[in-house]
Amino acid sequence: MFAEDFDRRDQRPGRGPREATSTRTTQGRMFTITGGDWDDLLADNNFEDDERLIINMGPQHPSTHGVLRLILELEGETVTQARSVIGYLHTGIEKSCEFRTWTQGVTFVTRADYLSPAFNEAAYCMAIEKLLGIEVPPRAEVIRVLLMELTRITSHLVALATGGMELGALTGMTAGFREREEGLHLMEFLTGLRMNMAFIRPGGVAQDLPDGYSERIRQFIDIMRTRLPEYDKLLTGQPLWKARTEGVGYLPLEACMQLGITGPVLRSAGLPWDLRKTMPYCGYETYDFEVPTLTEADCYARFLLRLAEMHESLKIMEQALARLAEPGPVMVADAKIGWPAQLSVGGDGMGNSLNYIREIMGQSMESLIHHFKLVTEGFEVPPGQAYAAIENPRGELGCHVVSDGGTRPFRVHLRDPGFVNLQSMPAMSEGALIADVVAAVASIDPVMGGVDR
C-alpha cells in the first residue's frame, strides 16, 4: 500500500503542458519539470511591450559604499523602482554588549560605524553616565571633543575620496586617503590606535594625552589648512564633477523631515539642524563654530557642506587645544567606576605605570582585590534607561541603554544615521539614470557597519 502511494504520480485533469508533475517518495514530494519552446513561453506571457529590466547592484560592487545591495528596476537607463537590501555586514554588536561589562561594551560599539569610532564610544558612554548620574571632568570632555572632531574630518575625507572614486575622480580619491592618513597617524599618537580605539570610557577617557600632543595637533591643523583648499581647485569648479553631481540626488526639505533624515543630507536642504548647536553636549555651546547650510539639496551641495564642515572642525580642534593647556583629571574620582583604575603609560611606553603596579602587587592587598574585581566584574549601574544623542559625520547618532541594576547592559541599541538616511535612496534615485544612483548613494555616505550592526 505504501509503495503504491510513493510511486503514484500526480495526474490531475487540466494540467498544462509545462506544469510540473510530482511523485511521492520517502524523501517527500518530488517534482518533474518539463521544458517548452522559448518563443511559445514569451508569447504566452506577452513580454513584447515590456522593456523593464531588474538588476542587482551589489552587495559586492565597488560603487555601493560597501556591502549594500540595490535592486533596480530599469527602463533603458532610467530607474523606475529602487530598493535597498541590507544585512550583509551584521555583526551582532548590540547583542554582544549584553554579555560584557559596561566598560567592555565600548570595545563593541566602537566597531559599529567603523569610520566614526570616537562618536560611537562617546554616545554609549554618555548614556551610561546619565544612568550613573555622574559628571565627566572638564579635561576629559575637551579630549572627547578633540577626538570627535578629528574623527569627523577623517570620516568626511573618506566620503569625498570614495565618492570621487565611484564617479571616476581618482585624483580626488588618492588625495582624500592621503589626508586621512595624516588624521589616523595623529589618532594613533593620541590614543594608541588608528581606529576602534576604545579610548573614551564611562566617566572620562582611558588616560591623558601623551607628551608632545600639542605640537602634533598643531602640525595636523596646519597641514589640513594648506591641503583642504586643493579640493576646491580639484573638484569644486571642475565641469565634469559638477555635471555628475549638480541636480542629482535631489531630496527637498519636506522629504527629509518625513523620512527622519539628518546630517549633511538635511543641511543641504537648508535646515541648520546640528545637535552640537540645537542640543549641545560635551560643552559644545562654549565653542565658536558655524553650521554650514545650502538649499540646492543635491549631491553637489552635500559635497560642499562636508568640505566646509572640515574647516569648522579644524576651528574646534584649535579651541580644544588651547583649553588643554589647563591640567586636570581625565576620569571621575570615584574609584569604583574609573576602569582600569589609575591606568597610565609606563617608562617603557606600555602598560600600567610601575608605581601603580608596585602598589597593587606589593604594598596593598586591598588595591589588588579592588582592581581585580573592577576589571573582571565591572561596576553596577542603577536600573533604568537613558538615551544620548550626538552629531556624528552622517547625522544624529543616538544610543539607548537599559540597565537592570547589574554589571552588564540589559539592552543596548544604536540609532545609526546611516541606517535612517539610507531610506532616502529610492526617493533620490527613482526617475534618474542608473549612473546617478552611484552619485546619490555616495552623497548619503552610508557606512554598512553602522547600518547593520
pLDDT tens digits for 83-136? 888 888 898 999 999 999 999 999 999 999 899 999 999 999 999 999 999 999
CATH of domain 90-339+378-445: 1.10.645.10
Please name the residues in contact with 241: beta carbons below 8 A apart, sequence gap of 6 or more: 167, 169, 235, 300
**Domain residue ranges of the chain, discontinuous segments joined by +:** 1-45, 90-339+378-445
Q: Please name the residue that has the C-alpha cell 617608562.
A: 347
pLDDT tens digits for 163-196? 888 888 888 888 889 999 999 999 999 988 889 9
Please tell me whether residue 184 adopts helix, strand or coil conformation.
helix
Average pLDDT score, the chain: 84
Q: What are phi and psi of 21, to 5 degrees?
A: -95, 155
DSSP assignment of 210-260 equals: PTTHHHHHHHHHHHHHHHHHHHIIIIIT-HHHHHHHTTSS---HHHHHHHT
C-alpha cell at 158: 573618506
Position 133 scores a pLDDT of 92
Kindly report the pTM of this predicted structure. 0.83
Q: Please name the residue that has the C-alpha cell 583648499.
A: 229
pLDDT tens for the chain, 453 residues long, are: 444 443 444 444 444 444 445 667 665 665 555 555 656 655 655 545 567 788 888 787 777 777 888 888 888 888 888 888 888 889 899 999 999 999 999 999 999 989 999 999 999 999 999 999 999 999 999 999 999 999 999 999 999 998 888 888 888 888 889 999 999 999 999 988 889 988 999 999 988 898 899 999 999 999 999 998 888 888 888 888 888 999 898 998 998 998 999 999 999 999 999 999 999 999 999 999 999 999 999 999 999 999 999 999 999 999 999 999 988 888 898 878 876 545 555 445 555 566 666 666 666 677 677 777 888 888 889 999 999 999 999 999 999 999 999 999 999 999 999 999 999 998 998 888 988 999 999 999 899 989 988
362-371, long-range: CB within 8 Å, 24+ apart, which pairs? 370/335, 370/341, 371/340, 371/341
Position 34 scores a pLDDT of 54
pLDDT tens digits for 269-293? 999 999 999 999 999 999 999 999 9
C-alpha cell at 415: 540609532
